[in-house]
Chains A and B, each alone.
Chain A
Amino acid sequence: MDIQERLLKRDKRACARLISMLENNDEEAINIIKRLFNKTGSAYVIGITGPPGSGKSTLTDRLTKELRKEGKRVGILAIDPTSPFSGGAILGDRIRMSDLALDKDVFIRSMGTRGFLGGVSKATWGAVKILDMYGCDYIFIETVGVGQSEIDIVKMADTVLMVLIPNMGDDIQAIKAGIMEIADVFAINKSDLDGADKTKMEIEMNLDLNEKKEYRPPVVKVSAQKNEDIDILLRKLRDHEKYLKDTELIHQIRQRNLKTEILQLAEEEILRMIMDKAYENDLLEELSIKVEKREENPYTAKEKIVALIKD
């Protein structure tokens, strides 16, 4: 049986191997996705993002357990940062998900960002499709711990959950642009800590300043550690799913995301072409020396490289 058949028969090893092949830019993985793409689209994708240490992994574990009570199959892509220096990574999200390892209807995969910015990895887009083909009903993408502007998750997920914790800063943080703008649902985790109510209120006030829309992101206080109010949070996530599906907005969101994905793929290929030309015959080396000596300027140097791929 080949790997494609094994994937469709829900073989975990086949699923795992395909994700690796995709991460390593293996042509065969891409061909399998091309062939099976019309079988995807039924999984619902929830992005979980938030600052480091806010409890994303624990919350992912709890939400998965809640979905498992309903018999849903769950895939989890847990992303942690790759070192820009060594290319290595410590992927530690599984620590909080130990109980799920043996559940035959849960598949957890840790991924390094491998140089990709924005809180996810380049292969995450494809890995979601592989988990969809594998038969997951829900797929959680847990981003790296984010700061203020890593918002690529919004281009991958149907619903974005922002996990915050009390006392992360003053109320100006809540009105800043960036990650605060992408959430469909807010969770204030570690709700037993002082300041949880204040944080909730600051976010609510910020949301009140938004233009009036049919859907307003809910803000839910939870404690992942103590397993409190996880059911409420899941209900809010599914309310958003239902809203998108009832209003057919889901198609708009998915088309928007696909635009980004297609452009992303095109960008990658063009970048590779540029890199190939730039390093061919030490052209980049030569140009950088000339620019440093002021015999050339960066803009003309760029034009010379770009001219080479236009032929």
Chain B
Amino acid sequence: MNRPIRVLVAKPGLDGHDRGAKVIARALRDAGMEVIYTGLRQTPEQIVAAAVQEDVDVVAMSLLSGAHNHLFPKVVNLLKGEGVDDVLVLGGGVIPDDDIPFLLESGVEAIFTPGTPTKDVIDFINTNIKRK
């Protein structure tokens, strides 16, 4: 691909722990991607609005508050509502294994839990990107 992949790194919900999001943002930067970081405590509506305006390839959300089953699918649905169908939605954070099948079924394309090497995330994005 002859252009940088654009990734929105977002923190939905109310937890204030963004170390993970920053580590991912930095790793993606070093992998040659343009990372738009939106900061803490974003509503799903804000995340989707930013994803649209920034024309990103990937929305990567990090959440440690436990509200993932509510907030991740909501972002997926709002994107659909905007007619956005070429964005890869990823989730990360403290997510119990039992919740992962539900999230994948809801349209989140991958969940990365603590301990995932950043290379796995980069490889997943490079392999699964939907736009040329």
Closest Cβ–Cβ distance, residue B13 to chain A (whole Å): 14
Please give, as numbers and ranges, the residues of chain B lying within 8 Å of A24 by CB-CB distance: 2-3
Please give, as numbers and ranges, the residues of chain B lying within 8 Å of A98 by CB-CB distance: 38-39, 42, 46
* Chain B CB within 8 A of A46 CB: no
Q: Which B residues, 1 to 40, have Cβ-Cβ distances below 8 Å to chain A?
A: 2-4, 6, 25-26, 28-39
Q: Which B residues, 93 to 111, have Cβ-Cβ distances below 8 Å to chain A?
A: none
**A16 touches which of B3, B29, B31, B52 (Cβ 8 Å):** B52
* Chain B CB within 8 A of A273 CB: no
Please give, as numbers and ranges, the residues of chain B lying within 8 Å of A13 by CB-CB distance: 52, 55, 82-84
Please give, as numbers and ranges, the residues of chain B lying within 8 Å of A102 by CB-CB distance: 45-46, 49
- If the complex has contacts A19-B55, A101-B46, A101-B50, are A95 and B39 also in contact, measured as CB distance less than 8 A? yes
Closest A residue by C-beta to B49 = A101
Closest Cβ–Cβ distance, residue B18 to chain A (whole Å): 10
- Cα distance A83–B34 when bound, in Å? 10
The 9 closest A-B pairs by CB, nearest first: A95-B39, A88-B29, A16-B55, A101-B49, A24-B3, A87-B32, A101-B46, A20-B55, A88-B32
B30 near A16: Cβ-Cβ < 8 Å: no
Closest Cβ–Cβ distance, residue A66 to chain B (whole Å): 21
- Cα distance A17–B55 when bound, in Å? 6
- If the complex has contacts A16-B53, A16-B55, A24-B2, are A90 and B38 also in contact, measured as CB distance less than 8 A? no
Please give, as numbers and ranges, the residues of chain B lying within 8 Å of A23 by CB-CB distance: 3
B34 near A88: Cβ-Cβ < 8 Å: yes
Closest Cβ–Cβ distance, residue A249 to chain B (whole Å): 33
Interface string of A3-29 (1 = CB under 8 A from B): 000000000110111011001100000
Closest Cβ–Cβ distance, residue A182 to chain B (whole Å): 27
- Cα distance A112–B2 when bound, in Å? 15
A88 near B30: Cβ-Cβ < 8 Å: yes
Please give, as numbers and ranges, the residues of chain A lying within 8 Å of B33 by CB-CB distance: 88
- Cα distance A110–B52 when bound, in Å? 12
**A86 touches which of B32, B38, B54 (Cβ 8 Å):** B32
A92 near B54: Cβ-Cβ < 8 Å: no
Closest A residue by C-beta to B25 = A90
Interface string of B79-93 (1 = CB under 8 A from A): 000111000000000
Q: Which A residues, 84 to 107, have Cβ-Cβ distances below 8 Å to chain B?
A: 86-92, 94-95, 98, 101-102, 107
Please give, as numbers and ranges, the residues of chain A lying within 8 Å of B37 by CB-CB distance: 90-92, 94-95
* Chain B CB within 8 A of A291 CB: no
Closest Cβ–Cβ distance, residue B93 to chain A (whole Å): 19
Please give, as numbers and ranges, the residues of chain A lying within 8 Å of B34 by CB-CB distance: 82, 88-89, 91, 110, 112
Closest A residue by C-beta to B6 = A20
Please give, as numbers and ranges, the residues of chain B lying within 8 Å of A72 by CB-CB distance: none
Please give, as numbers and ranges, the residues of chain A lying within 8 Å of B2 by CB-CB distance: 24
Closest Cβ–Cβ distance, residue B78 to chain A (whole Å): 11
* Chain B CB within 8 A of A175 CB: no
- Cα distance A89–B33 when bound, in Å? 6
Interface string of B42-84 (1 = CB under 8 A from A): 1001100110111100000000000000000000000000111
**B53 touches which of A82, A92, A107 (Cβ 8 Å):** A107
